[in-house]
Amino acid sequence: MALNVEDRDDLLPVCPHCKKDIDKIFARDLNKDIMGSRRVVYFCPNCRATLGVSHRKGFFLGL
């Protein structure tokens, strides 16, 4: 059974913490090291609750 994905440009996501519509997401670098590794935290602009954290390896680590 396949999962159907539907593009919806008429809806906004809702913050799971404050339940307000999210029309933008704030991001802040947690660290950048000399080899380009980068961690970023994404958070709600309304309540500032963390929505997620990403880690991207740098050029020397196999982008």
Distance CA 23, CA 44 (A): 10
What percentage of the chain's residues is helix, strand, coil (to nearest 5)? 5, 35, 60
**Does residue 49 sit within a domain?**
yes
Which pLDDT score is estimated for 42? 96
Which pLDDT score is estimated for 59? 59
Question: Using an 8 Å Cβ cutoff, are 40 and 30 in contact?
Answer: yes
Mean of all residue pLDDT scores within the chain: 88
Give the chain's domain count.
1
Which pLDDT score is estimated for 57? 72
**Does residue 51 sit within a domain?**
yes
**Does residue 57 sit within a domain?**
yes
**Does residue 1 sit within a domain?**
no
Per-residue pLDDT tens digits for 24-54 = 999 999 877 666 778 899 999 999 999 999 9
Which pLDDT score is estimated for 34? 66
Provide the domain limits for residue 41: 26-61
**Does residue 5 sit within a domain?**
no
**Does residue 46 sit within a domain?**
yes
Longest dimension (CA), the chain: 46
